[in-house]
A and B are shown apart, each in its own frame.
Chain A
Amino acid sequence: MSSLSALGQRLLQLIPVLIGISLVSFLLVQLSPGDPVRLLLGDRATAEAVAHLREQYGLNQPLIAQYFSYLSNVLHGDLGHSIRYQMPVGSLILDFVPPTLFLIAYVVAISVPATVVLAIVSARCRDRWPDHLIRALAILGMTIPVFWLALMMSRFFGVELGWFPVSGYGKGFLEHLHHLFLPAISTATWLVPLLLRNLRAALINETESDYVTASRSKGLGEGYIFRRHVLVNSVLPTLNLLGVMIAFLIGSSIVVEIIYAVPGLGTLMVGAVLGRDYNVIQGLTLFYALASVIVTLTIDILSTTIDPRVKL
């Protein structure tokens, strides 16, 4: 089977997955207590005004009818209107995508080189002091709560030293880099240790495998063996882990986005959940699902190019 048709098949499998996700997210938000109209109109709104607007927005119809009208809209590419803002959900979400994507790219750009360098140093100096130091720091980085680290960094580097802004996204590429530096570092602090431990273990495992011993016996240099064989063969599991973590980050950037007031998807999600803006919550859930699938698919395609034995 050619990889192209395999790709097509993977994309086709997506459709039932997305429909399932849309149903679950629809039921979850609709069945949770809270009325978007009450929150929209404010505390003093009369019961009549609330009832009228619920009627107008179709919130009084049976759930099944609401779901099918939602589904048919989605299949036509229309994610509906935000109850709160009376704006199309699609364009609302798109407005909040760039900061989150930028942040994730930033985190990856910081984490991947750091992981590779540290893992190699750690593996090659196995059980000597650099290895101990890196492993100790990794455990520290994994155990520090993100929200605490984010708060502390914002107070120290932002408020006290004034090196970095403590909020926002800025305008233009350089300002984005500047504004998102602390959020990216806060996130990388737990991501790097995770990837690092994975890569280090794989490197050590490969170094001890038979084919490496065979290469050594042929008289190949250690450096050559490491670069040409060990490293390439160790990268795959970590690459897959990275894919999972990126998909996870898209949905879990909420904490750093709230603490650093970054107008990204996490901020939008929190606002939508607190305001019970059903269509926005559902739209975001679908977006997350789609993004996760695209990331894992990309990782799979990358894997096939690194190791031709891997099939899509």
Chain B
Amino acid sequence: MHWHRNAAAGIAMTLALLTAPAAASAENLIRVGSPYPTSTLDPMRSSSAGNIEVFGQLYSRLLRRGADGALEPGLAESWGVSADGTVVTLKLRDAKFSDGSPITGADVVFSLLRVRDDKESAYSAPLQQLKDARAEGDKTVVLTLKHPFAPFLGNLEVFNAGIVSKADVEKRGKDAFTKEPVTSGPYIVSEWRPNDRLILKPNANYWRTGFPKNDGAELIEIADANTRVSMMLSGELDATRDVPWSRVSEVQSREGLTLPLEPSTVIYMTLLNETKPPFDDIKVRQAAAYALDVPAITKAMTLGHAKPATTTLPGALDYHASDYPGIPYDPAKAKAMLAESSYKGEELVLLANATGDNDKLSVLIQAQWAAVGIKSRVEKLDRGAWWERIAAGDYHAAPSWWYNETLDPDLAVRWALCGSCGTKSFYTGYNNKKVDELTETAAGELDPSKRAELYRQIQQITTEEVSQIPLYYAPYANAYSERVKGLGMNPMLQWSLEETVFTGE
């Protein structure tokens, strides 16, 4: 009999405990959900989205972006550029690393040169024009450029130009970034559980006094988009990345949540492999572009939340030619051009990667191409396998997206449109000498209005020659809880976490 009574009491107690609300945690962390994993804390070692988002929280750069996108003093409190544009002299402010040691010119020189020179540096392009960097005393840094280079100051704000401690990295090597990294930004690492979450706490030595305005943040990796939305709806997250387009209105209409659709430098487009038939023939590429009803595709994919793309560059970039009309939808013209071309009805491979609704995009393109006589089949691969095929040139077309890590178009052009800049125009093999020349001229031109004209030419040529087929400019579909104020993401994938406060406290 005792046994029964104990069991009943046990069950009753368990039920009571189960439905009791979980105890509130001691600190108030801002909980941010994202599908993009953090795989390294070393700003030099990766250029993938999840890492870019984190680097900005840990490492301050010489310059920073204000709320309006303009360049502001960061670790450098002032700077000057020589008359010929090749020498940049920066004066550092009195700032400290998280371990209390001063941030000196030597740290700055070390941080920039390792991005440019280290064999393990993932993305050295932003600092390729840097010829020489030297410290003059503790607080002055002189950077000499190979030639005048307009985007340079902006590139000092790019994610991998964060300043790290020379002494610590030299002493601890790779461990310096896996165990309690010494940081120069608003936060330090409280705990990193790879593949799960990164917990940040305030850096007491951060140079912006009064920041961060909170107890820290928890960046949680959640692969499934619907789970992220559920967590927002149930109050288990304060912000999340990438709400699926089909759920944007639902989140927007929910009380206590906002989804402001912030501008991003993301562009959706279709890669065309120009190293082999049929897309090595400009007529086939143009026919493929005329065959696509881009506004209809944009509407079908994003339910009207994104703008149709008109040029080969992201819409949020400086010097974007927004008045350029782009290639209109004209299936009759597409058919006519196809008849004149070298395409004879072969079945093409459309490579879809299994992220987001990329397969849906591929099927839409497949259908519109079929209507004008371009036959294709969709092959769906995960991102690892997709990349292998793209880099090897083993595909015909591949709908995908990319973003630019700064507002200046120089890096975007070098990455996606320039045939001689190292990445073969995003591995399409598009190669136009005139575009390559314009890339260098535009970068060396210091007059903004002349630069605008040069980038307009680049966009016009590459759009007309269909280096890629631009599809749409997607804003960030990030959702925010009204519990937090001041949180947002700028077009360079940087959260304004340090400005964020909890409301109602």
Contact = CB atoms under 8 A, between A and B. Distances in A.
B196 A258 contact: no
Interface in A145-198: 151, 154-155, 158-159, 162-163, 165-168, 170-171, 174-175, 177-179, 181
Given A33-B385, A159-B230, A163-B19, A42 B120 contact: no
A158 B384 contact: no
Interface in B172-190: 174, 178
Interface stretch (A122-130, A222-230, A261-269, A303-311): A261-269
A168 to B, nearest CB: 7
Given A159-B230, A276-B384, A44 B423 contact: yes
Contact of B120 (A53, A170, A178, A275): A53
Contacts of A162: 234
Contacts of B14: 177
A261 B240 CA distance: 14
B383 interface: yes
A268 B234 contact: no
A309 B385 CA distance: 53
23 contacts: A38-B384, A38-B387, A39-B384, A41-B47, A41-B48, A43-B402, A44-B47, A44-B122, A44-B123, A46-B125, A49-B119, A52-B119, A56-B120, A85-B178, A86-B40, A159-B234, A166-B230, A178-B17, A258-B223, A263-B195, A272-B195, A274-B383, A274-B384
Contacts of A47: 391, 422
A204 interface: no
A158 B227 contact: no
Given A42-B122, A45-B123, A92-B194, A261 B227 contact: yes
A296 interface: no
Nearest to B38: A85
B39 A38 contact: no
Contacts of B222: 167, 261
B384 A259 contact: no
A174 B47 CA distance: 40
Interface of chain A, helix or strand or loop or mixed? helix
Contacts of A272: 195
Contacts of B125: 44, 46
Interface in A85-113: 85-87, 92, 95-96
A40 interface: yes
Interface in B193-247: 193-197, 220-224, 226-227, 230-231, 233-234, 236
Interface of A: 32-36, 38-49, 52-53, 56, 82, 84-87, 92, 95-96, 151, 154-155, 158-159, 162-163, 165-168, 170-171, 174-175, 177-179, 181, 258-261, 263, 267-268, 270-272, 274-276
Contact of A166 (B18, B122, B236, B387): B236
A39 B383 contact: yes
A253 to B, nearest CB: 14
A40 B234 contact: no
Given A45-B47, A158-B234, A178-B22, A34 B384 contact: yes
Interface of B: 14, 17-20, 22-23, 25, 37, 39-40, 45-49, 51, 119-125, 174, 178, 193-197, 220-224, 226-227, 230-231, 233-234, 236, 381-385, 387-389, 391, 402, 415, 422-423
Given A39-B48, A178-B22, A151 B226 contact: yes
A267 B223 contact: yes
Nearest to A177: B18
Given A151-B226, A167-B230, A41 B383 contact: no
Contact of A268 (B123, B195, B388): B195
B28 to A, nearest CB: 15
A232 B140 CA distance: 84
Given A46-B422, A48-B119, 8 more contacts: A35-B387, A41-B47, A84-B39, A166-B231, A167-B231, A167-B236, A260-B227, A274-B382
A228 to B, nearest CB: 18
B285 to A, nearest CB: 22
Contacts of A53: 120
A92 B194 CA distance: 8
Given A44-B47, A261-B224, A275-B384, A84 B194 contact: yes
Contact of B193 (A95, A155, A261): A95
A154 B230 contact: yes
Nearest to A179: B22
